[in-house]
Amino acid sequence: MTFLARWLQFLRFLEGLLEFLDFLTTPLGIVASVGLGLYSLLVLLGVDASTAATLAGSVALGLSCLITRPDF
């Protein structure tokens, strides 16, 4: 019975992981992952956290506008 409970828990984890990966393929997920990745990279390179957040946010906003192409 313990094995079945753990197996069910693993399947629920796998389902949540697949939902998260599905989210990453949406335009919002792509923009968010690029923004977080760029922020992490800039912080690792020694850039100040506020400057890294500003640059990563600007790039993410530009990418969002390119991907979604809003009509103004």
Retrieve residue 23's tokens: 């989210």
Q: Is the pLDDT of residue 19 over 90?
A: yes
The domain segmentation of the chain, as residue ranges, is: 27-67
Kindly report the pTM of this predicted structure.
0.75
pLDDT value at 1 more than 90: no
Q: What is the 3-state secondary structure (H, E, C) of 6-50?
A: HHHHHHHHHHHHHHHHHHHCCHHHHHHHHHHHHHHHHHHCCCCHH
Residue pLDDT, tens place only, 31-67? 999 999 999 999 999 999 999 999 999 999 999 999 9
* Amino acid letter for position 10: F
Asked whether 27 and 68 are in contact (CB, 8 A), the reply is: yes
- The answer to whether residues 42 and 56 touch, using CB atoms and an 8 Å cutoff, is yes
